[in-house]
Amino acid sequence: MLGGISIWQLLIVLGIIILIFGTKKLRNVGSDLGGAVKGFKSAMNEEEKKKEEETGQAQVRHDDQGNTYDVKAEQKSEESEERK
């Protein structure tokens, strides 16, 4: 493969990284990175909810006939039906 990276080259680089850092440290880095991504996603969801509450925008859904429904109103009606 001219100019490309073969699987053997990747395995050699991976082996060198494992020798330098060790598997325990690599595992910690992986879990830290996963936790950071999870925290970022939850922060983005919270920010989106805050914006929605501040602007008072309703989530709408369209059906096949072109009718528009308020998703939150439907959820509230479903909750009230479940309580009965």
Q: Give the span between the Cα atoms of 12 and 81, in whole angstroms.
A: 62
2-55 per-position pLDDT tens digit: 578 899 999 999 999 989 988 888 889 889 999 999 999 998 888 888 877 777
Q: Kindly indicate the confidence band of residue 1, based on its pLDDT and cuts at 50, 70 and 90.
A: very low
Give me the residue label for tokens 């939850």.
42
Phi and psi of 66, rounded to 5°?
90, 5
- CA distances (Å), origin 52, targets 25, 29, 30, 49, 57: 41, 35, 33, 5, 6
Which tens digits make up the pLDDT trace of 68-79? 666 665 555 666
